[in-house]
Amino acid sequence: MTIPDALRAATVQLAVASDTARLDAELLMAHALGLSRGDMLLRQRDLTVPETFAPLLARRLDGEPIAHITGMRDFWTINLAVTPDTLIPRPDSETLIEAAVDHFAGRAPASILDLGTGSGALLLAALAEWPHAQGLGIDASPPALVVAQGNAMRLGMADRATFCLGDWAQGVDGPFDLLLINPPYIVADLVLSGDVRREPASALFAGPDGLADYRRIAPDLPRLIAPGGMAAIEIGHDQKDSVSTLLRDQGLVVAARRDLAGHDRCLIATHSG
């Protein structure tokens, strides 16, 4: 079977369980060949299907996320290693970086705090955007911090990114020009589907109303946001009003930003005046 034939057959198989069946097939084939997806597509008619492709396809058909199979995920302008110990970075979360780019137009944040850093995606994407900035990433998961530190080293940012074990902002001294925050926000015991079922529950669920971690984070934000700075906070699609109220109760000014699907995805919190 040629690679084009194998990709077509795999796409048909994957379509039952994936909304991105063709992309999944291409990423798996590229990984099996040890090539980038672009190189694989350019050279597909000159290559043969490797024996490792079928086992990779079987893992995906069994529900394992592509990022866990390949061990990598693109996010913003960087490529990150990911493991089952971290959330898989998603395009929705890039909305936080977009909000920060707009806020700091014509200038750059010098200090960045990433609460719940996971793989380091948000912090490292921001450090790639502003090459003179320094950043601190906090996470409650030691295995996640190992992944984040490895990503910083691989991207050449280990001298600008510090990662620490912590409980949100407890014990963190500020202020910071930019805060990036992607806490758990799914209602406890909600039945999940798709790739998210394979991700760490501690990074997904946040109490009976999905707001438990926002309630803990909000009181620390006024002291952590520097004058002229901002916090970009990811929310669930139906949490704009509830989380905005928590932030406004702390005296912060709040604006919302939508993701590419048109859902409210990011709250921008700043000081008044």
Predicted pLDDT at 106 = 86
Residue identified by tokens 């291409």 is 26
Predicted pLDDT at 203 = 56
Nearest-angstrom CA–CA distance, 218 and 113? 14
Beta strands across the sheet bearing 134-139: 161-165, 134-139, 111-115, 176-181, 225-234, 264-271, 252-258
Q: Report in angstroms the alpha-carbon separations of 169 from 13, 110, 179, 266.
A: 45, 19, 11, 19
Question: 116 with 183: CB under 8 angstroms?
Answer: yes
Nearest-angstrom CA–CA distance, 226 and 219? 15
- Which H or E run includes 150? helix 142-154
Question: 189 with 55: CB under 8 angstroms?
Answer: no
Q: How many residues does the chain have?
A: 273
Q: Name all domains of the chain by residue range, CATH numbers in brackets.
A: 3-63 (1.10.8), 72-271 (3.40.50.150)
**Nearest to residue 121, comparing CAs of 78, 183, 178?**
78
Is residue 175 reached through a cis peptide bond, with omega within 30 degrees of 0 on the bond before it?
yes
Other CB atoms closer than 10 Å to residue 48's CB: what's the count? 10
Predicted pLDDT at 237 = 86
Residue identified by tokens 């008619």 is 45
Residue 255, SS3 per DSSP: strand
- Label the pairing between strands 111-115 and 134-139: parallel
Residue identified by tokens 């077509």 is 8
pLDDT (tens digit, 0 to 9) for every residue of the chain, 273 residues total? 899 999 999 999 999 989 899 999 999 999 999 999 999 999 999 999 999 999 999 999 999 999 999 999 999 999 999 999 998 999 999 999 999 999 999 899 999 999 999 999 999 999 999 999 999 999 999 999 999 999 999 999 999 999 999 999 999 998 999 999 999 866 666 555 565 555 565 555 556 687 999 999 999 999 999 999 999 999 998 999 999 999 999 999 999 999 999 999 999 999 986
Predicted pLDDT at 17 = 84
- Which H or E run includes 268? strand 264-271
Predicted pLDDT at 153 = 98
Question: 134 with 165: CB under 8 angstroms?
Answer: no
φ, ψ for residue 25, nearest 5 deg? -60, -45
**Nearest to residue 113, comparing CAs of 136, 133, 134, 131?**
136
